[in-house]
Every structure is written in structure tokens, then in C-alpha cells.
Structure 1
Amino acid sequence: MTGVKLQKVVKKYGETQVIHGVDLSIDDGEFCVFVGPSGCGKSTLLRMIAGLEETTDGQIEIGHRDVTHLDASDRGVAMVFQTYALYPHMTVEENMGFGLRMNGHPKDEIKSKVGEASRILKLDDYLSRKPKALSGGQRQRVAIGRAIVRGPEVFLFDEPLSNLDAELRVDMRVEIARLHNKIGATMIYVTHDQVEAMTLADKIVVLRAGRIEQVGKPMDLYRDPDNKFVAGFIGSPSMNFIEGVVEGGAVRVPALGNRIVKTTVNLPGEGHPVSVGVRPQHLSITEGQSDIKLDIREHLGGISYDYLVLGDGSKLIVETRDDREIPEGSTLLVGFEETDALFFDGVSENRLR
């Protein structure tokens, strides 16, 4: 069993603390994705697990072994970086087997392990090529193959697709998902792209400012976020937030013509600010007199995204699945079912339930 466990993990650079007492358990064979905005600490946390950053306080376990202060080479992990870091003068086969050669493994063993990794990653036709003769996606597969041949207990990926173009990102995302299904190893993957997180993960860890905001399955976080930050980060396009105020046991929303939104959640006291969260696909629009205007409409074929500007200057995104032609600048009426709305405390930003 090779899970990973973090207990009250802290990272400081001098007096600056960047990771604040993180507790996390990752099960054996689980695909766990760290996601969050730039500077949230996700790569730092990954590098601490890898042994590339010292742990200031707390404990890291891999497979029930305390590895907190072990060298990276003794932790049983393999890391795939954003940059491919391939040796340009070596062939694909030589690059993939380099680590094993350096550790004195027999040639037959190296050839067997490289061959197996090559078959998994569909690199058999490229083994004699050098990196300059490969596409970006092929180079990243070689980097992943180099990790596979080491037979690690845990695979660590640090934004491995960020240097690829959009089409290759999709292709490699599928390749990595297929790899995980095939070998069943524990994988920890860092990305700022919540689409990658949603499509790859068994478990998502949402980070902000060195703290965990929420942990859960992708659709659990999407449907049941704990706070406004998670609700806005998970989902593409992101959730809309419309500011309101508690009034008479409901929420009055000035920007929607003082609409009264009823709810069964426990609301704060009278006059307390509340954010009403609604996904773009749950909003509807009709032409009519209001102070809400259509700014831009994006047609993407089967769906369109309408970018609206409300009277108070706030913005909404509406997802529609029709091909109506609404002129930009038109005034619109916006509707939604109250059961589709989530409510967040306007001060703490925590979910109201």
C-alpha cells in the first residue's frame, strides 16, 4: 500500500510562512490533483512531498514510512516537470533508461523496462530519435516514460501540460488518464487549470494562500462547494455571484430589479450581505426593458456565452443553447430557478446551508 499522508505540514522561507499546517491523506492508487491560483502553494507542497523542498514542520508519510527528512532519491517517487528536461544528445531510449544506467542496473533489465514503458506510451516508433525530432507531446511522453521505468511508489506531476498547445493538452490529458488506469499507481498532479483537475482527478485539493479550502471528488466540489472561493474556482465558465441583502427572511437582489429570492437555507440577520451564486447554464435571458445590457456574445457552435453588464457594473455570464441573434447592447431580463442558487455569507464568504 503506497498512499501519502501529510500531517500539519508547514513551510517557511525565513519569517515568511507559505504552507500553513496542511493535513491531507491520499489513498493508494488515487489520482489526486492540487489546484488553485498562482502562488497558492500547490507546487511548493508537491516539491515538499518529492523531497526537493525541506519541510519546516509537520510530517510526510509515503507508504506508512516517515520520509519527512529523507533525500529525494530515497522516497520512492518520480517527478515529471513542466519542462521536459531531456538530454538533447541522447535518443528516446537512452533518455528513458538514463536513471537506471546511472544506478548500475543491468542492460537487459533496462531494455526490458524501457520497452514496457515505450509500449504503454506508444513510443516504440520513436526510440531511436533524439528530442529535437519529436513534437511537444511526444517529448512529454518520453519524460513520463523516464519516470515509469524507475518503478516509483508515487508519481508527481508539476503542471506537465502547460507548455503544450490546446489540442495537445487535450490529447495528453487523455494519455495521462489512460496511464493511471493501466498502471494504477498513486499520482499527485499540480495544475492551475480546473478543467484538467475536473477531468483527471479522483480527488481534488483546492488550495488558497497555502491552506486547503476543500477536498473532495470533482463533482462533489462542483455541486457542493464549502465557500465562495471554491464555488468560483471549480467550473468553467465560473459561477456568477450576484450581491444581495437579507430582507424579511429572503434575499433581495438590487441588481436584478430588487428581485426577492426565497430560500430554505439558514440566512444571517436582517440587512446582512449575501452573495447569490448561480451557474451560467442555470441563467436564462429574454429581451425586455431593464438596466442589464448584453456586452458580448460568443458563439461556440452548440452553445453560446452571453456576457452581461448589470446596472451596478457587475457582470454575469449566461450559457445558452440556441442560435438567437440578440444585438450587442440590447437590454435583457435575467431569470433563474431559486432551487439552482447557492448562497454565501457576504462577509465570511462561507456557504450558507
Structure 2
Amino acid sequence: MSGLTLQNVVKKFAEIQVIHGVDLDIDDGEFCVFVGPSGCGKSTLLRMIAGLEETTSGAISIGDRDVTNADPAERGVAMVFQTYALYPHMTVAENMGFGLKMNGHDKAEVKSKVSEASRILQLDDYLDRKPKALSGGQRQRVAIGRAIVRGPEVFLFDEPLSNLDAELRVEMRVEIARLHKEIGATMVYVTHDQVEAMTLADKIVVLRAGKIEQVGAPMHLYRDPDNKFVAGFIGSPAMNFCDATVENGSIEVPGFGLDALAPPQGMTAGTSKVTVGVRPQHIKINPDGSTHTVEHSESLGGVSYVYLRADSGDRLTVEAGETAPASNGDRVGLDIEIDRAMVFDGDTEARIR
């Protein structure tokens, strides 16, 4: 297996630049997830690594090989797409071994590699079936198996779970995590689902508008985001944000009912406009208060979410226990874990620490 390096990678379609000088190192055996909203460039970047899109400028290396201008077949990568793209007239075993067969590998080698991939993916009972006799999750496992038999240096996944229902998505997340642990391969995985990113990744790359916003381990990004965008994108439900003002050396945040939040050390004396963020998990409802109105609540079994409107007009989400502690229309207050509050520059959206 090999690591992956991107150096000042740029992609343009005619005069439109969609990837802006991306620099990234992915270690050998690391599971790296590209995450971001639709249109941020994550799939384009993955396709550039695969060689399916030309690199306008910059360099892409796999191990110690510069593959920037190499053909896809010469890069040592295997890609799993959102659609399964299986041959309907072939069995599972034939689908998995087709690439090796077309490249002239002998039957014994193809059978051996298909057998090993089948064992890893628990497909032994399905090898003689055709795709129409498989569930969506089983078809996706076959597509992954087809990649495994090639023995690539780097596995690339382009939103492979998007076509599955919620239960199968959870099942396949576990399968992919187990696969990575067993074969120890370098994997690059694209998704817009930050839950997938948090649960699968060793390293998350948060992208916006073709640029990297932040790179780090999942819990590092959750606990220490560099800016408002990353703070809002990582974590479910999303972080609550309220505009605030700075007066007499303290921060007033009407949306959270805070009138004297101590400013972070890095805030300069001239700062007057900031945004304060607090995660739903770090707020508790105080039934004795009267600064917020309960607009709606949802019970999901083990957890509930309460949606509030502050007197200032700000809307907030609070994560509570199994039963919502207030009813629709109730007036309540908030108990906030002040040390968990994050402050962002009101203009640049950069984190002030």
C-alpha cells in the first residue's frame, strides 16, 4: 500500500476554477474522508486522484510515484462509485473477477483473489447469484469486492452509500470500517454526510468552494474548529449560532440569554462584532426561565430535540433526554456550558481563541 500527496492541485473547466491550490498528505494506510456541501469540489478532487479528470496544475503522487499525468489504469487505484455498475448477466463471482480476467490473469489466480475478497466481505453464499437477486447493500459489497481483487495501492470511494436506505447505510458503514481494519489499505472516501465522516475517518478534510477549510481527526474538528463553517458542518445537530456585541469588555449574546460572556484571549480590543456558537449538547433547558419559547420538540427514543425561539428572534436547537423537558408554547430559560461556547469573528468567520 502507499500514501497519497497532493501539491498545489488546481482544476479549471475552461475559465472556471473549481479546485484552488489544494495541498494534502494522506499517510499510508490512513482512512481519509473528503466532506463538504454539494458543489464544494470533493468528487472532482477524487476524480483527479483517479485520473478521470485532468489536473490543470500541481502534482499528485501515490507513494513515490508522480501520477499527475498517468492513465487511470497505471495509477494503482480502484474506485467504488455511488452506482454499483454491475454486469446484470454475470454472477457475483464473475463480476468481481472480470477486471482480472480481462487483464489476462489465469483462472486459478482470479478464483483465489475472488475467494479472498468474498471471505472479507462475507459474500461466500452469494457467489453464484446475479445482481438482481441481491439487496442494495449486497450489490455495494460486490462493487467493493471488485475493487479489492485488483489489489490497488489506494481505494477511492465516491459517496458509495447514497443509494441505500438508512438501515443499510449503518450496516455498510460498519462493513467499510471493518474492511479498512482488516486490509489496512489507504482509503479516500467522499461524502456529504458528516455522520459518515465522523464515524469512518482517521482524517477528515473539510472542503468549501474548492478550498480546504480544515484537516484533522474527527474529534479534533468537533472540539476545535478553525472557523464558523467547520463548526457548523461538523456535529449533528448543527451548532447554534447567535450574533453578539462587545461592550465594556464583555460579550452580550441576547440569543443565548447571555449578557456577560468573557471574551477569548485572542480577541483584539477593537472587535465589536462577533458570532457565538454553542452545540445543542451543551445547552440544557431551565423550566424556571422565560427567555425562550418552545416552538417544537422531537422524540427519537433515546434522545429528544427541542427547537426554541429566543426573544431576540434567534432560533436554537437543544438536545435533551428521552422526553422533552418542555411542551410547545412553554416559556423557558437556558443553562449553557459557558466554557464550551465558541466565538467567531463577525466579518471573517474565523475562530477567536
TM-score by length of 2: 0.97
* CA positional deviation for 1:264: 3.8
Between the aligned partners of 1:324 and 1:70, the Cα distance in structure 2 is: 57
Q: Secondary structure, in 3 states, of the residue corresponding to 2:260?
A: strand
CA distance 1:46–1:252, shift in 2 (3 Å): same
Counterparts of residues 83-102 of structure 1 (less than 5 Å): 83-102=83-102
CA distance 1:258–1:194, shift in 2 (3 Å): closer
Between the aligned partners of 1:318 and 1:347, the Cα distance in structure 2 is: 26
Runs of 4+ in 1 over 6 A off after TM superposition: none
Match of 1:318 in 2: 318
Match of 1:29 in 2: 29
Match of 1:71 in 2: 71
- Greater shift, 40-49 or 270-279, is seen at 270-279
CA distance 1:341–1:130, shift in 2 (3 Å): same
Q: Secondary structure, in 3 states, of the residue corresponding to 1:187?
A: strand
Would you say the 8 A contact 1:247–1:270 is kept in 2? no
Would you say the 8 A contact 1:76–1:152 is kept in 2? yes
* CA positional deviation for 1:288: 4.4
Between the aligned partners of 1:207 and 1:287, the Cα distance in structure 2 is: 40
Match of 2:207 in 1: 207
* CA positional deviation for 1:271: 6.0
Q: Does 1:160 align with 2:173?
A: no
Q: Secondary structure, in 3 states, of the residue corresponding to 2:70?
A: coil
What whole-Å deviation, never above 9, does each CA across 1:206-256 have from its counterpart, x for those lacking one?
000000000000001110000000000000011111211111222111334
- Greater shift, 10-19 or 338-347, is seen at 338-347
Aligned partner letter, 1:58:
G
Between the aligned partners of 2:78 and 2:322, the Cα distance in structure 1 is: 47
Match of 1:58 in 2: 58
Match of 2:129 in 1: 129
Match of 1:274 in 2: 274
Between the aligned partners of 1:101 and 1:44, the Cα distance in structure 2 is: 30
Between the aligned partners of 1:235 and 1:305, the Cα distance in structure 2 is: 14
Between the aligned partners of 2:122 and 2:112, the Cα distance in structure 1 is: 15
Between the aligned partners of 1:166 and 1:263, the Cα distance in structure 2 is: 42
What whole-Å deviation, never above 9, does each CA across 1:23-57 have from its counterpart, x for those lacking one?
00000000000000000000000000000000000
Q: Does 1:345 align with 2:345?
A: yes
Q: Secondary structure, in 3 states, of the residue corresponding to 2:151?
A: coil
Aligned partner letter, 2:340:
D
CA distance 1:175–1:257, shift in 2 (3 Å): closer
Match of 2:179 in 1: 179
Counterparts of residues 170-319 of structure 1 (less than 5 Å): 170-257=170-257, 259-270=259-270, 272-288=272-288, 290-319=290-319
TM-score by length of 1: 0.97
Q: Secondary structure, in 3 states, of the residue corresponding to 2:173?
A: helix
What whole-Å deviation, never above 9, does each CA across 1:179-225 have from its counterpart, x for those lacking one?
00000010000000000000000000000000000000000111000
Would you say the 8 A contact 2:244–2:275 is kept in 1? yes
Match of 2:106 in 1: 106
Q: Secondary structure, in 3 states, of the residue corresponding to 1:85?
A: coil
Q: Where do 5+ consecutive residues of structure 2 fail to align?
A: none
CA distance 1:218–1:324, shift in 2 (3 Å): closer
* CA positional deviation for 1:60: 0.3
CA distance 1:163–1:322, shift in 2 (3 Å): closer
Match of 2:119 in 1: 119
Between the aligned partners of 1:258 and 1:186, the Cα distance in structure 2 is: 46
Match of 1:169 in 2: 169
Would you say the 8 A contact 1:246–1:270 is kept in 2? no
Between the aligned partners of 1:26 and 1:268, the Cα distance in structure 2 is: 36
Between the aligned partners of 2:206 and 2:259, the Cα distance in structure 1 is: 33
Between the aligned partners of 2:167 and 2:252, the Cα distance in structure 1 is: 44
Would you say the 8 A contact 2:284–2:336 is kept in 1? yes
* CA positional deviation for 1:263: 3.6
CA distance 1:132–1:208, shift in 2 (3 Å): same
CA distance 1:82–1:64, shift in 2 (3 Å): same
Would you say the 8 A contact 2:21–2:211 is kept in 1? yes
- Greater shift, 159-168 or 298-307, is seen at 298-307
Q: How many percent of aligned residue pairs carry the same amino acid?
A: 69
Aligned partner letter, 2:63:
G
Would you say the 8 A contact 2:267–2:352 is kept in 1? yes
CA RMSD of aligned residues (A): 1.3
CA distance 1:27–1:325, shift in 2 (3 Å): closer
What whole-Å deviation, never above 9, does each CA across 1:260-307 have from its counterpart, x for those lacking one?
211443223456111111111111112346352111111122221101
Between the two proteins, the alignment pairs up a number of residues equal to 353
